[in-house]
Amino acid sequence: MERSWYHIAKECTALRKNVLRVDLCVFIDNEEAFSNENYLNSTIKSILTSAIINGLDIVGILSPETPLVGLRAKQMAQQQQMDIVVVAGQTYICTGKEELYIYNLAKPVPKNLSIDKACGFVHDNNGFVLATNVNSKLGATLNKLQGSK
């Protein structure tokens, strides 16, 4: 049985305080945009350090088209035992121009998928989706997809 995000979040315990502080929308460029690996690692470490200083417990690292930078950030936080949880993600534009933030995948979502196919792919790979700029038309489409794969 699948559990909702709310029940999973309730199991998380915030250290140092009574509130769990989360920012799932921290954007960073793809790996190719950085001149070298050291510059990329330095940028990631700066983002994570800033998130900790600002009191965040969970941060979502989003990059266009691939979750690889977020996965690198997650690995860095674990290896250096940073006091933050990193959720790797990517932004995705569907064929109908809907924008999705996709989290918890090890590989990128294939290009040129409709919103139902993209959501199905993500759910089949144990990821989760956050729809952005939801209007009444997109809301109706999302309601039809609720509970489906």
pTM: 0.77
Which residues touch 106 (CB under 8 Å, ≥6 apart)?
Answer: 67, 71, 125
Q: How far apart are CA 141 and CA 146, in angstroms?
A: 9
Give the tokens for residue 11. Answer: 């199991």
**Residue range 110-128: average pLDDT?**
90
- Give residue 42's pLDDT band: very low, low, confident or very high (50, 70, 90): very high
Is the model's pLDDT at 58 over the cut of 70?
Answer: yes
Average pLDDT, rounded, for the chain: 85
Higher pLDDT, residue 101 or 10: 101
What does DSSP assign to residue 55? Answer: T
Give the model's pLDDT for residue 80: 93
